Amino acid sequence: MKTTVRHSRGEYVVETTTLAGVLAALGAEDFVVTDTNVQGALGLGPECFAVEPGERSKCLATYGSVMEWLADRATRGSRVVAFGGGVVGDLAGFAAATYMRGVACLQVPTSLLAMVDSSVGGKVAVDLAAGKNLAGAFWPPERVLVPMDALATLPDREFANGAAEVWKSGAILDRGLLERLEARPISKQDEGLEWVISRCIELKAAVVEEDEFETTGRRAVLNFGHTVGHAIEQAQGYCGLLHGEAVAVGMVAEARLGEAIGETVAGTAERLRAGLASQGLPTALPKGLAWETLVGAMRRDKKAARNGLAFSLVSEIGTCRLVTGVEESDVRRVLEAM
């Protein structure tokens, strides 16, 4: 399945394929960046640059070594291939954006999260000590090839992690998709998985086309569950729940908040809680997190403003909007009840 994404400098195609299809599309001017898990699991050769797996590789030091590796072999006409999960996508994408002031980037997402979320939209970055994604760029890929059979080796916890973003897409943008997930949570064996992934790509592409550079607020709707989710990840020092898991808890919390302030149709939070639990995702706040710590992190969220906290809230399943000026006392009541 194919989706075309238009952006300010042109357009690119996101296409589902197989690992063999990806390898056949690579040529002598392609330089593959991956991580050692993906290299081993998918049998990539020694000619690629493989970083250590995990978020810690999305740093300036690793970025520097990718750039030096490129400098030894790549020219202005070369293409950087980001072959892996979201960490590799963001890291290699940022290297592509900056090597010789920008060379082409082929995104090959191999985790479910990267397929439905990070490989589409052109945001690339590395983390700084002061925070995540602080050094980055908008650098649309030249093409995105999604090898469906790569999911066979993805660990189950990572699959569920990506599934959280799939549920999010249904909750905020597509009631039909959410109902499909409620009827049958996705699994690697699911015959409809390629359709579900392609639908998520289409949904994200449409939002990104409307607000490529995050200036109108439209792109912020993709942040449903993320204000609370990011706060949980930060409070746990990024060593607790995985991103998608934290977002699952965040979606339940933010749906409850929406119900409490009259923004969300009653019953939505329970509906999402039951669905996310059926997908094997956590839906309760991890123990031992003080609400003050969480609200403190939410105050630093990029959507927050002087008049209060901001959340992308579901109105009813399939529609959502950015709500600003939310009182901390309302957030506190919801978190304490969880």
Candidate ranges 6-14, 150-158, 250-258, 290-298; the one touching ligand NAD (CB under 6 A): 150-158
Task: Give the nearest distance from C-beta 40 to ligand NAD in angstroms.
Answer: 8
Q: Taking CB under 6 A as the rule, does residue 87 contact ligand NAD?
A: yes
User: Which one of the listed residues 165, 233, 254, 259 is annotated catalytic?
Assistant: 165
**C-beta closer to ligand NAD: residue 155 or 176:** 155
Question: Is 123 near ligand NAD (CB under 6 A)?
Answer: yes
Say whether residue 3 binds ligand NAD (CB under 6 A).
Answer: no
Which of 37, 223, 233, 263 is the catalytic position? 223
Contacts within 8 Å (CB) and 24+ apart, 209-213? 209/5, 209/6, 209/7, 212/7, 212/8, 212/122, 212/138, 213/8, 213/138
Q: Is 287 a catalytic residue?
A: no
Asked about 132 being catalytic, the answer comes back as: no
Dihedrals φ, ψ of 122, to 5°? 80, 5
In one-letter notation, the amino acid at residue 138 is F
Q: Decide: helix, strand or coil at residue 301.
A: coil
CB of 95 to ligand NAD, least distance (A): 14
Is residue 110 at the binding interface for ligand NAD, with CB under 6 A as the rule? yes
**Which of 226, 256 has the CB closer to ligand NAD?**
226
Angstrom distance (rounded) from CA 13 to CA 142: 8
What pairs with residue 82 in β-bridges? 33, 107
Q: Comparing C-alpha atoms, which of 216, 132, 202 is closest to residue 173?
A: 202
Shortest spacing between CB 6 and ligand NAD, in angstroms: 17
Does 32 bind ligand NAD (CB under 6 A)? Our answer is: no
288-292 long-range contacts (CB < 8 A, ≥24 apart) are: 289/232, 289/235, 289/236, 291/331, 291/332, 291/335, 291/336
250 touches ligand NAD (CB under 6 A): no
Quote the CA–CA distance of 116 and 130 in Å, as a whole number. 27
Q: Give the strands of the sheet with 143-147, arranged side by side.
A: 2-7, 10-17, 143-147, 104-109, 79-84, 30-35, 49-51
What sign does the dihedral 95-101-103-106 (CA atoms) show? positive
34 makes contact with ligand NAD (CB under 6 A): no
If binding means CB under 6 A, how many residues of this protein chain bind ligand NAD? 29
- Of 79 and 204, the one with the shorter C-beta distance to ligand NAD is 204
84 makes contact with ligand NAD (CB under 6 A): yes
By the rule CB under 6 A, 114 interacts with ligand NAD:
yes
Identify the residue among 3, 48, 53, 193 touching ligand NAD (CB under 6 A): 53
Among 107, 118, 234, 312, binds ligand NAD (CB under 6 A): 118
140 contributes a contact to ligand NAD by CB under 6 A: no
Tokens 């009182």 sit on residue? 327
Among this protein's residues, is 7 annotated catalytic? no
Report the residue from 1, 23, 41, 289 that binds ligand NAD according to the rule CB under 6 A.
41
Residue 311 has φ and ψ, to the nearest 5°, of: -140, 145
* Residue numbers annotated as active site: 101, 123, 165, 204, 214, 219, 223, 226, 230, 243
Positions touching ligand NAD (CB under 6 A) are 35, 37-38, 41, 53-55, 58, 84-88, 90, 110-111, 113-114, 117-118, 121, 123, 133, 150, 153-154, 158, 161, 243
